[in-house]
Amino acid sequence: MMERSLAYDRAITIFSPEGRLYQVEYALEAVRRGKTAIGIKAANGAVIGVHKEATSPLMDLDQIQKIYVVDKHIGCAIAGLHADARVLVDFARVQSQINFITYGEPIDVEVLTKKVCDLKQNYTQVGGIRPFGVSLLIAGVDSQGPQIFTTDPSGSYWSWRATAIGYNSEAAREYLAKNYKPTMKLMPAAVKLCIDTLRQVVEEKLDEEAMEISIVDTDKREFTQLTKDEIRSVLV
């Protein structure tokens, strides 16, 4: 009986009697232990923010990257394993360029999210590999307006008005549910809510050095990172 239970635990292709894939659940736990990332859709754009923490006082926080530019109009934040995230971000960048070369237009945010999730799902059904231990919080602007999506290691994805992934994400979503307004503008309201949410759920003092904030608006449709001075102006 013990050997059978271990088989469910070790093999990605075997369902348990309860219909669970344990390796996928372990990957989800890696995401839950990752640093908090917040995504908010405003009336005129979207913002994502992440908490950065050095594991040693000798580390340079400026070189810790948790938000990536995928295409001119799309970016993503990560929670989970950085190495896995790099592979997915590179894949997403290639898919964005393939779409532009093929159709002559920027890729829709949901189309890109589906492609990333198709790859993730493939890694839940083949022996000898493991699921990606990372979730992506994808933000962008396309023909449908501002978009926020999250992906998880199973290959599932969801669209959000505001959400959080990583450590203490449930508490962050509760705070967002109480304070989010669909009519809020990107600057400064949505950015301020993003920072306030991080402050609520991270168990340490946060300043502009310990967070990374990026925005994309409906006018320029360019995914850009806020400078420390810009973050500091919202913190005041």
All domains of the chain in start order, with CATH: 2-235 (3.60.20.10)
Q: Please check the confidence at residue 1 and state whether its pLDDT lies above 80.
A: no
Query: Which parts of the chain are beta strand (E)?
Result: 37-42, 45-51, 67-71, 74-80, 134-142, 145-151, 157-159, 162-165, 211-217, 224-225
pLDDT at 4 over 60: no
Task: Answer with the residue of higher pLDDT: 99 or 63.
Answer: 99
Lowest mean pLDDT among 13-22, 144-153, 210-219: 13-22
